[in-house]
Amino acid sequence: MIPISTDDNSLKRPVRVLHLEDSAADHALVGLTLRRAGLPHEIRQVDTLEQFTQWLGQEDFDLILADYRLPGFTALDAWHVVERQPNRPPFVLLSGAIGEAAAVDAMRLGFADYLLKDDMARLPHVLQRAIEVAEARRAREQAVADLAASEQRLADLAEHLQTSIEEERAAIAREIHDDIGGALAAVKFDLAWLARHAHDEGQRQHAATATEMLQHAMDASQRLMMNLRPPVLDQGLVAAVRWLAESFERRTRVPVRMSAGRETMDMPAALQLVAYRTAQEALTNVHRHAQASRVHVDLSDHEGVLTLEVSDDGRGIAPEMLHKPRSFGLKGLQERARRAGGWLDISSRPGQGTSVIMSVPLHAASHATGEET
């Protein structure tokens, strides 16, 4: 028997066959062969292309069995009707005379199998195999669709999380600027007043020490604010990346050469933030891992493509490190670029430096959904 379901607890229903055949005797022989094999089945005979199309649109069939040559058309004409269906049933040729070339062409088009009428005894086996293969194909397609849907849900979640992170960063930066920055500035004015009006040298010394420590706190809050949401981004991407490169050079003492195609690049604010975060993460990786003696940052929008490249002459990255399951920084950069409609490439060889290149076609920038300013 041909089970329609592999679940042992489910009932097995007859196989529904649409038989395209103009010979009543051959149709009867097919039914007799299936009955003798013990295959429960329901078979519907049609002999015109119009009937074939009509029944195919009205009912679901598990398999199509067709003669090759029929009055006025061939099985290939019927195939062109079937192939447009998303979940088409397997299509098996059963012909009295079909050339080898025609059979090969049919299989190449997507026919499940073909059988000569002289070999009718093999029909039950051919049908069973065609149905099993079709079920396996549908299961594979469903698994691929489920995987794609799961990956899309994960990408949407990552996008939502990234957007939430950027919004929270902006909110924290505003609080640092408005509340903490304002409070520290007020304290600094008060310390200056105390230092001016103190008559004791010890008091003036304490005020000077407190002012110095306060300045450290103000500098730290400024750095935090700039890292969270740099106001320099309001001046454009080139200015923001240049500020990032200069800050990196001052902090690490590693020379950075910054080059830009032009000073002003017109693009959505979300894409500017994608490029800025990519440069920021790439420079952070250079500082942490590269042991580089120089860095080059190149930014251009030549021919409608935003390109950012951060390269160094450091120790490079071993190939296996690029595919570590927990290399979230690099994977995050690639996901940012993908969500912006572009791509990110990391080229590196041990001992020969690393180059991180992000490219985003500006015409796709309107579809960038990964960041919010």
Pairing between β-strand 305-312 and β-strand 354-361 as defined by DSSP bridges: antiparallel
Residue with tokens 């120790």: 315
Residue 223 pLDDT? 77
What's the confidence (pLDDT) of residue 46?
93
| CA 216 to chain CA centroid, nearest Å | 44
Q: Are 110 and 79 in contact (CB under 8 A)?
A: yes
C-alpha–C-alpha distance, residues 291 and 316, integer Å: 9
Phi, psi of 340 (to 5 degrees): -85, 0
Give pLDDT, residue 3: 45
- What are the backbone dihedrals phi and psi of residue 364, each rounded to the nearest 5 degrees, phi first? -95, -5
Cα of 269 vs its chain's centroid, Å: 22
Q: What is the pLDDT of residue 299?
A: 94
Q: How far apart are CA 143 and CA 334, in angstroms?
A: 25
- What's the gap between Cα 88 and its chain centre? 28
| The predicted structure's pLDDT at residue 370 | 43
**CA–CA separation, 357 and 307 (whole Å):** 7
Q: What DSSP element (H or E) covers 69?
A: strand 69-70
**pLDDT of amino acid 364:** 63
Q: Which domains does the chain have, with CATH numbers?
A: 15-145 (3.40.50.2300), 231-373 (3.30.565.10)
Q: What is the pLDDT of residue 246?
A: 92
pLDDT at 28: 94
In the chain (373 residues long), the average pLDDT of successive 10-residue segments reads 40 83 93 92 93 90 91 91 85 82 82 88 91 89 89 77 75 79 86 86 87 87 75 84 92 93 85 90 90 94 92 84 62 82 89 92 62 40
pLDDT in tens, 267-277: 888 888 889 98
| Residue pLDDT, tens place only, 182-229 | 888 888 888 888 888 888 888 888 888 888 898 888 888 877 877 777
